[in-house]
């Protein structure tokens, strides 16, 4: 077992495996796309490399299919559960990083009304998607994903307000 510096990607993999019980890299990628991918950008290749690193460190166990596609299924070890619990227990004051191309263009002098129209449409679509997801999750599952979704709804409402004000 090797010592390893855990990153946000590490914790995403551990957390998604905790939520699912066990997962293949492809299943992790799909789960992230429909959950944390709404607020955290990840390289898809990480879902193939990171589980292996975590398994080498003893935080995940791996079972490989003997026949067929020989997929690897990863599950949490006791050490993996402990690492995830310890990470969740550490408060953070880190603020969200905004990586928004429209704001970058706006900063460098792009036409605000042209940007606003495109961004307003995209923001309204994402808001509708989040609100639909929120309705579907009513009364089900763990509260953490629902709270994250509510934060996303609040953020998208603010983007709609901002882009409307700029002339969208």
26-40, pLDDT tens digit by residue?
Answer: 999 999 998 898 888
Task: Fill in the DSSP letter of residue 36.
Answer: G
The pLDDT value recorded for residue 3 is: 62
pTM of the model: 0.81
Let me know if residue 114 belongs to a domain.
Answer: yes
Let me know if residue 3 belongs to a domain.
Answer: no
Q: Which residues of the chain have pLDDT under 50?
A: 1
Tokens of 156: 């998208």
Question: Whose structure tokens read 């905004």?
Answer: 98
Nearest to 141 by CA among 34, 49, 10: 34
Gap between the Cα atoms of 119 and 161, Å rounded = 11
Gap between the Cα atoms of 161 and 101, Å rounded = 18
Same domain, 64 and 131: no
Same domain, 55 and 75: yes
Let me know if residue 95 belongs to a domain.
Answer: no
Let me know if residue 126 belongs to a domain.
Answer: yes
The pLDDT value recorded for residue 1 is: 47
Gap between the Cα atoms of 16 and 64, Å rounded = 19
Domain boundary, last residue among 40, 64, 89: 89
Give me the domain span that covers residue 17. 8-89
The pLDDT value recorded for residue 83 is: 96
Question: Whose structure tokens read 């409402």?
Answer: 157
Q: Give the CATH number for residue 41.
A: 1.10.10.10
Task: Fill in the DSSP letter of residue 60.
Answer: E
């Amino acid at each position: 077992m090797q010592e390893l510096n855990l990153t946000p990607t590490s914790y995403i993999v551990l957390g998604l495996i905790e939520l699912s019980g066990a997962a293949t890299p492809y299943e992790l990628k799909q789960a992230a796309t429909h959950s944390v991918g709404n607020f955290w950008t990840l390289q898809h290749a990480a879902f193939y490399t990171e589980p292996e690193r975590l398994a080498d460190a003893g935080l995940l166990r791996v079972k490989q299919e003997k026949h067929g596609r020989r997929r690897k299924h990863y599950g949490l070890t006791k050490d993996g559960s402990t690492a995830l619990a310890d990470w969740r227990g550490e408060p953070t004051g880190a603020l969200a990083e905004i990586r928004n191309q429209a704001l970058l263009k706006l900063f460098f002098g792009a036409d605000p009304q042209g940007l606003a129209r495109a961004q307003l449409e995209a923001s309204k679509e994402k808001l509708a998607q989040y609100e639909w997801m929120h309705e579907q999750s009513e009364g089900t599952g763990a509260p953490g994903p629902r709270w994250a979704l509510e934060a996303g709804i609040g953020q998208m409402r603010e983007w709609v307000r901002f882009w409307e004000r700029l002339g969208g």
